């Protein structure tokens, strides 16, 4: 039986691309939809190039009432994957897919998480802290920012001459290396 994935992303989409590439030759796994709240986001070019359908999420419809739950349910997703999606999900959406929504965060939660902690803000805070390590956290999604059960973490060292930009590059490499295979593990459970 084939398994359906939905990706939510609003950035450049490098994680979405890594996931697409990983499952490209897997007949059991199909990426059915890329949902995005930014019409200019790079991830939409990836979707177009890959021939993956897209959903442009409108703020009002997303946050008021049932939003897109019916459209998403119709695709029977095994997982909904947040890969650089910045909005907090409405409670109704989280409850419609219990245990099936996961997120990747570019730091070692519970540090450097919560509202406003995304993108370069995370890596700047990590650099300013003087921490010797950072990493990634893949976790289940609940109604709160960066709060659900942790599924996986990976760590990378921070060298004294690392800047927030080089930290960001190291972390993104970790994301690309681990996110697709953790998704595969979850699909096999």
Beta bridge partners, 103, equal 82, 139
Residue 36: exposed, middle, or buried by beta-carbon count in 10 A (0-12, 13-18, 19+)? buried
Half-sphere CA count of 3, side-chain side, radius 13 A = 16
Q: Rule CB under 6 A: is residue 13 a binding residue for ligand GRF?
A: yes
CB of 97 or CB of 118, closer to ligand GRF: 118
Stretches 12-20, 29-37, 69-77, 145-153: which one binds ligand GRF (CB under 6 A)? Answer: 12-20
Q: Which of 105, 123, 139, 178 is catalytic?
A: 105
The single-letter DSSP state of residue 27 is T
Active site residue 105: yes
Q: How far is Cα 136 from Cα 134, in angstroms, rounded to an integer?
A: 7
Q: Rule CB under 6 A: is residue 180 a binding residue for ligand GRF?
A: no
Taking each helix axis from N to C terminus, what angle separates 119-129 and 164-188, rounded to the nearest 10 degrees?
120
CA distances from 83 to 43, 53, 74, 140, 173 (A): 10, 16, 21, 12, 14
Are 30 and 4 in contact by the 8 Å Cβ rule? The answer is yes
Q: Rule CB under 6 A: is residue 146 a binding residue for ligand GRF?
A: no
One of 5, 6, 7, 9 touching ligand GRF (CB under 6 A): 9
One of 15, 89, 93, 146 touching ligand GRF (CB under 6 A): 15
CB of 72 or CB of 83, closer to ligand GRF: 83
Q: Rule CB under 6 A: is residue 90 a binding residue for ligand GRF?
A: no
CB of 139: closest distance to ligand GRF in angstroms? Answer: 11
Q: Where along the sequence are the contacts to ligand GRF (CB under 6 A)?
A: 9, 11-15, 83-84, 104-106, 172, 175
Tell me which residues are annotated as active site. 105
């Amino acid at each position: 039986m084939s398994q359906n994935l939905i990706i939510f992303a609003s950035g450049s989409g490098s994680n979405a691309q890594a996931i697409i590439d990983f499952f490209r030759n897997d007949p059991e796994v199909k990426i059915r939809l890329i949902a995005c709240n930014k019409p200019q986001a790079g991830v939409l070019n990836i979707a177009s190039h890959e021939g993956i359908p897209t959903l442009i999420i409108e703020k009002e419809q997303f946050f008021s009432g049932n939003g897109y739950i019916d459209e998403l349910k119709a695709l029977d997703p095994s997982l909904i994957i947040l890969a650089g999606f910045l909005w907090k999900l409405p409670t109704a959406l989280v409850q419609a897919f219990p245990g099936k929504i996961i997120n990747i965060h570019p730091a070692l939660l519970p540090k450097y998480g919560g509202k406003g902690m995304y993108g370069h803000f995370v890596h700047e805070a990590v650099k300013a802290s003087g921490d010797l390590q950072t990493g990634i956290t893949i976790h289940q999604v609940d109604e709160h920012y960066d709060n659900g059960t942790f599924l996986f973490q990976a760590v990378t060292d921070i060298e004294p001459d690392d800047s927030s930009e080089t930290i960001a590059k190291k972390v993104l490499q970790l994301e690309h290396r681990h996110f697709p295979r953790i998704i595969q593990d979850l699909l096999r459970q």
